[in-house]
Amino acid sequence: MIERLKNWLVGYQKEETQKPGDEERMEVLKKGPMPRHVAMIMDGNGRWAQKRGLPRIAGHRAGMKTVRHITRVADDLGIEALTLYSFSTENWKRPKDEVNYLMGLPEEFLRTDLDELVRRNIRVGMVGREDELPDHTKRAIEGFKEGTKDNTGMILSFALNYGARSELIHATQRIIEDVQSGKMDKEGVSEALFDQYLYTANLPDPDLMIRTSGEVRISNFMLWQLAYSELWFTDELWPDFSRELFYQAIDDFQRRSRRYGAV
Ligand code: FPP
């Protein structure tokens, strides 16, 4: 076990950085239509750890490293918004230790990555039910929001305690309240207005949704917002999701023809 942990630590130290040819690759991709908003279901951390005989939390730790390098790639490509499904409303059912570990990751990420995010002019936000998070997690999220509030570049959102069905119910309840209090009338409820009641009110709909680990489903993620998104799946587990795979996803996106129901 010690040997395995040591090997894993060595691997963990290796940050995925740009390799020769990356600049050229990105320049080519930048000439095509770039998705404004990319949403990702980061799946497979547990399996990644299991395959190595490690505890599941080692997979989440490695997954956080992938969050760091994928954020860099998205920013380098000029993507406007990146939303990462980090904890679903269903994930509370996991063992307590795992939940606690996941709830501690935003604090750790704040400590290790805030400076770089500020340097990159990235604004951090969250989508999901913030009020139900533990206080220390809320403080970390507030720390991110406060520390990056003046930034004007890419918006990096963590979907935390997020579930699309609960988001839709919450939005509907608030709309009913506003209609009942006379703030607006029923006829004023349009798709554009509904958007404004979602956690993602300040974001464009995702153009591209990526899911790792071979699962081909949406899992209660952005059900409203993904209506016309291009979906892209890979068998690779999230900790192994690389720069190269991200380029491939963008390249595939650029070859698709988006018709939004027209011919
Ligand atoms: C799903 O994999 C992954 C999660 C529930 C957690 C994802 C979180 C991160 C990658 C880190 C987020 C970082 C911050 C800063 C919030 P799984 O555990 O369900 O994998 P499995 O299907 O193989 O078990």
For ligand 1, what atom is nearest to the CA of residue 59? 18
Choice from 60, 98, 141, 161 to test ligand 1 binding pocket (greatest atom count within 8 A of CB): 60
Residue 127 has pLDDT above 80, yes or no: yes
Quote the pLDDT of residue 257. Answer: 86
The active-site residue, picked from 7, 75, 76, 91, is 91
DSSP secondary structure of 59-119: HHHHHHHHHHHHHHHHHHHT-SEEEEEEEETTGGGS-HHHHHHHHHHHHHHHHHHHHHHHH
Strand pairing category for 208-211 and 230-233: parallel
CA distance 97 to 196: 36
Query: Using alpha carbons only, what angle is made at residue 260 by residues 175 and 229, rounded to the nearest 5 degrees?
Result: 70
Confidence of residue 13 (pLDDT cuts 50, 70, 90): very low
pLDDT at residue 48, rounded to an integer: 98
Q: What is the mean pLDDT of residues 154-179?
A: 98
pLDDT value, residue 261: 81
* CA nearest to 218, candidates 133, 159, 171: 159
Does residue 8 surpass a pLDDT of 60? Answer: no
Residue 43 is a catalytic residue? yes
Residue with the nearest Cα to atom 8 of ligand 1?
A: 86
What is the average pLDDT score of the chain?
94
Q: pLDDT confidence of 3, banded at 50, 70, 90?
A: low
User: Looking at residues 40-50, what average pLDDT do you find?
Assistant: 98
Q: Taking a C-beta distance cutoff of 8 angstroms, is the pair 34, 77 a contact?
A: yes
Domains of the chain plus CATH, in order, are: 34-163+206-255 (3.40.1180.10)
Instruction: Kindly give the distance from the C-alpha atom of residue 176 to the centroid of ligand 1, in angstroms, as a whole number.
Output: 34
Residues 6+ apart with CB under 8 A from 183: none
How far apart are the CA of 29 and the centre of ligand 1, in A? Answer: 28
Say how many Å lie between the CA of residue 252 and the centre of ligand 1.
Answer: 25
Using one digit for the tens of pLDDT, what is the confidence trace for 24-37?
Answer: 999 999 999 999 99
CA 35 to chain centre: 14
Residue of higher predicted confidence among 116 and 260: 116
Q: Give which of 44, 39, 40 is closest to 214, Cα–Cα.
A: 44
The dihedral formed by the CA atoms of 230, 151, 87 and 56, expressed in degrees to the nearest 10:
100
d(CA 79, CA 38): 8
Closest CA to 5 of 49, 71, 66: 49
From 56, 57, 65, 86, the mutation candidate for ligand 1 (largest count of ligand atoms within 8 A of CB) is 86
Of 73 and 19, more confident = 73
Nearest residue (by CA) to ligand 1, atom 20, is 44
In the chain, the percentage of residues whose pLDDT exceeds 70 is 94
Nearest CA to ligand 1 atom 22: 44
Shortest-distance Cα residue to atom 18 of ligand 1: 46
For ligand 1, the distance from its centroid to the CA atom of residue 69, given in whole angstroms, is 15
Q: Say which amino acid occupies 215.
A: E
For residues 234-263, give the mean pLDDT: 93
pLDDT recorded at residue 6: 58
The answer to whether the annotation marks 92 as part of a ligand binding site is yes
pLDDT, average across residues 182-192: 96
Residues touching ligand 1 (Cβ under 6 Å) are: 42-47, 60, 63-64, 67, 86-87, 91, 102, 105-106, 109, 158, 213, 238
Measured CA to CA in angstroms, residue 252 lies from 39, 44, 49, 160, 204 at distances of 15, 22, 29, 28, 20
Give yes or no for residue 206 having a pLDDT over 70.
yes
Is residue 43 a known part of a binding site?
yes
Average pLDDT for residues 94-110, to the nearest whole number? 97
Q: 47 among the known binding-site residues? A: yes
